[in-house]
Amino acid sequence: MNKKIILFLLGITLGFISAFTLLKNSDAPITKAVITKASTIIGLEFTAAEADSMISSLESTRNRLQTIREMKLDNSVPPALVFNPVPVGKNFETAQHDIKWDLPENVELPQNRDDLAFYSVAKLSSLIKEKKLTSVELTEFFLSRIEEYDPQLHAIVTVTRERALEQAGKMDEELARGMYRGPLHGIPYGAKDLFAVEGYKTTWGATPFKDQVIDETATVIQKLDEAGAVLIAKTTLGALASGDVWFGGRTRNPWDLDQGSSGSSAGSASGTSAGLFPFAIGTETLGSIVSPSNRNGATGLRPTYGRVSRHGAMALSWTMDKIGPITRNVEDLALVFNAIYGPDGVDQTIIDLPFNYNAELDIKSLKIGYLKSAFERDYRTKKQDSLVLDVLRNLGVELIPIELPDVNVNALRIILASEAAAAFDQLTLSNDDDMLVRQTPNAWPNRFRSARFTPAVEYINANRARYQLIQEMDKLMQTVDVYITPSFGNSNLVTTNLTSHPTVVLPNGFDENGRPTSITFMGDLFDEATVLSVAKAYQEATNHHKKHPPLFSN
């Protein structure tokens, strides 16, 4: 190994040792040697005189840092700084128009009741509204499926049976009195176990929190309660919203039980795909709706940042966390999103704008782009993705070639790492991070520790670069209404999680092993309506979403 590399790694090691000595012993002396060793971690070099002159300032900083650590801030406490994804000069539609749904009528019960497992939210809604099926019957049906199939999937942390049957009974009573709350009235669902639900554990999928009970109910659950939906299960997530490994094991892909379901909305996507519930709620910070929807053949919506309140949800990144639905078709995404978006008076990042969904939108009237270079390269799902473009052209769409801004967005991932380390500051300081199942170099424990060496200056500058990226993306979005991209293998996922643009991911075929593949549709900020309409038009021209995992659809 090159001598310079050895010396560099030695410097990093010594810097880590010195820095963590300071964490545990605030009286340890800060010397020129300590400063020199620690500075190698951040890639800077100071002269002996400069290091000497910093000592008193660093001692003061260390005392202030220790004071802040001793405040023991809870994960629920947000920073005073609020991220704003809106580009300079951007204007939005502010009037709410009548939503044009595509809701079926006169739906019949299947001869085989097991087929209900894969009915859409819209079809189940029709059955309940027309009193062909009660909410209690439907709830008990899905509870039975969880009991039968979850031992294979490991998609459920907690079954909320008592709450579910009480809510379902209430919905049936209301309907008998002529009170109908809307399309989600009496519909069971699952929610990622990072949402607080009063009276139940909220484990965050992690061993240190597996017995945690938070005495409140998250806004998104409250909104779904008000819409008449019935929470039947809290679904798995990779520990602290990373991957598909939680304290109970690995959540499985129902299409291939030898494969994990991907994460971090692991159980929400796996359970929806396997027919354990008609829809589920997930979250995304950097792929946690897109990735499991892709792996499990589900249909997912990652809304614009600032659309859905995160009150009562575990914080991973205060400027990147987003909440959205996972379903089996696009129309169901719109139905669920319509129930959960909007302000709650608590989450200060929410921007109050309308949702003007139109299921009958003529997509030929839109400017629809595609990431040309991303589609032209050689990659695993090129065949399936190319067929998506053919389907859209056959629908009369004239596709516009575009490219993303030329920015090294991976460098900006320090924003997520820094905020996540702050969100779980006490986990690191207490050494309870040793209890997490995954301890690999890229797992949270080590990423939290290493993030403590990211200078505040660079964190702020990363956000300044993010500001520039937002302006550049807005220039691109002025040329198209929607664009299409392969779900993976290019910079779109990182770019748009930083800029907060909404995305719909949906099945577009199967690979050589019979496992689902997906395509991604991107929309403009706060314009979930248009991207949903375009994705729906594509989905209705195909049948990939109508296929279900054979092991769970006998």
Nearest to 332 by CA among 136, 193, 504, 163: 504
Residues 59 and 137 in one domain: no
The enclosing H or E element of 486 equals strand 482-486
- Asked whether residue 440 is assigned to any structural domain, the reply reads no
- Asked whether residue 446 is assigned to any structural domain, the reply reads no
DSSP structure string for 331-361: HHHHHHHHHH-B--SS-TT--------BTT-
Residues 385 and 316 in one domain: yes
- The structure's pTM equals 0.94
Write the CA distances from 545 to 161, 367, 385, integer angstroms: 29, 25, 15
Residue 6 CB-density burial (10 A; 0-12 exposed, 13-18 middle, 19+ buried): exposed
Domain count, the chain: 2
> Which residue segment(s) compose the domain that 10 sits in?
1-71
Residues 144 and 271 in one domain: yes
When computed from its CA atoms, the radius of gyration of the chain, rounded to whole angstroms, is 24
Q: Indicate the DSSP class of residue 159.
A: E
Q: Choose one of 71, 106, 133: the last residue of a domain.
A: 71
Helices (H), 358-442: 372-376, 382-394, 414-423, 425-429
CB 408 within 8 A of CB 518: no
Residues 6 and 135 in one domain: no
Q: Map tokens 């947000």 to a residue.
A: 78
Q: Phi/psi zone of residue 203: left (φ > 0), alpha (ψ -120 to 50 degrees), beta?
A: alpha
- Asked whether residue 77 is assigned to any structural domain, the reply reads no
CB atoms within 10 A of CB 55: 15
What pLDDT, on the 0 to 100 scale, is given for residue 26?
A: 60
Structure tokens at 40: 């190698």
Residues in Cβ contact with 423 at an 8 Å cutoff, skipping those fewer than 6 apart: 75, 315, 316, 317, 318
Nearest to 320 by CA among 83, 488, 88: 83
Residues in Cβ contact with 38 at an 8 Å cutoff, skipping those fewer than 6 apart: 15, 18, 19
Residues 403 and 264 in one domain: yes
Residues 300 and 394 in one domain: yes
The amino acid present at 95, given as its one-letter code, is A
Residues 162 and 66 in one domain: no
Residues 57 and 184 in one domain: no
Residues in Cβ contact with 40 at an 8 Å cutoff, skipping those fewer than 6 apart: 8, 11, 12, 15
Residues 369 and 489 in one domain: yes
Residues 327 and 203 in one domain: yes
Structure tokens at 455: 């200078």
Structure tokens at 531: 């991207």
Q: Choose one of 19, 45, 71: the last residue of a domain.
A: 71
What pLDDT, on the 0 to 100 scale, is given for residue 27?
A: 75
Measured in whole angstroms, the distance separating CA 240 from the mean position of its chain's CA atoms is: 12
CB 292 within 8 A of CB 282: yes
Sign of CA dihedral 267, 268, 270, 274: positive
For residue 6, give the 3-state DSSP assignment.
helix
Residues in Cβ contact with 26 at an 8 Å cutoff, skipping those fewer than 6 apart: 62, 63, 66
Residues 335 and 245 in one domain: yes
What distance in Å separates the CA atoms of residue 60 and residue 325, rounded to the nearest whole number?
47
CB 538 within 8 A of CB 507: no
- Asked whether residue 314 is assigned to any structural domain, the reply reads yes
- Asked whether residue 430 is assigned to any structural domain, the reply reads no
Residues 54 and 127 in one domain: no
Measured in whole angstroms, the distance separating CA 152 from the mean position of its chain's CA atoms is: 24
Q: Choose one of 12, 43, 71: the last residue of a domain.
A: 71
For residue 188, give the 3-state DSSP assignment.
strand
Structure tokens at 484: 């299409």
- Asked whether residue 278 is assigned to any structural domain, the reply reads yes
Nearest to 329 by CA among 545, 74, 78: 545
- Asked whether residue 398 is assigned to any structural domain, the reply reads yes
Measured in whole angstroms, the distance separating CA 74 from the mean position of its chain's CA atoms is: 21
What pLDDT, on the 0 to 100 scale, is given for residue 19?
A: 41
Locate the DSSP E strands across 184-279: 188-192, 230-235, 245-246, 249-250, 252-253, 256-260
CB 533 within 8 A of CB 516: no
- Asked whether residue 416 is assigned to any structural domain, the reply reads no
CATH code assigned at 230: 3.90.1300.10
Regarding beta strands 249-250 and 245-246, do their DSSP bridges make them parallel or antiparallel, or are they unpaired? antiparallel
Nearest to 322 by CA among 192, 190, 226: 192
Q: What is the dihedral of CA 495, 501, 504, 510, to 10 degrees?
A: -10
The enclosing H or E element of 370 equals strand 368-371
pLDDT in tens, the chain (554 residues): 343 333 333 333 333 433 443 344 567 899 999 999 999 999 999 999 999 999 999 999 999 999 999 999 999 999 999 999 999 999 999 999 999 999 999 999 999 999 999 999 999 999 999 999 999 999 999 999 999 999 999 999 999 999 999 999 999 999 999 999 999 999 999 999 999 999 999 999 999 999 999 999 999 999 999 999 999 999 999 999 999 999 999 999 999 999 999 999 999 999 999 999 999 999 999 999 999 999 999 999 999 999 999 999 999 999 999 999 999 999 999 999 999 999 999 999 999 999 999 999 999 999 999 999 999 999 999 999 999 999 999 999 999 999 999 999 999 999 999 999 999 999 999 999 999 999 999 999 999 999 999 999 999 999 999 999 999 999 999 999 999 999 999 999 999 999 999 999 999 999 999 999 999 999 999 999 999 999 999 999 999 999 999 999 97
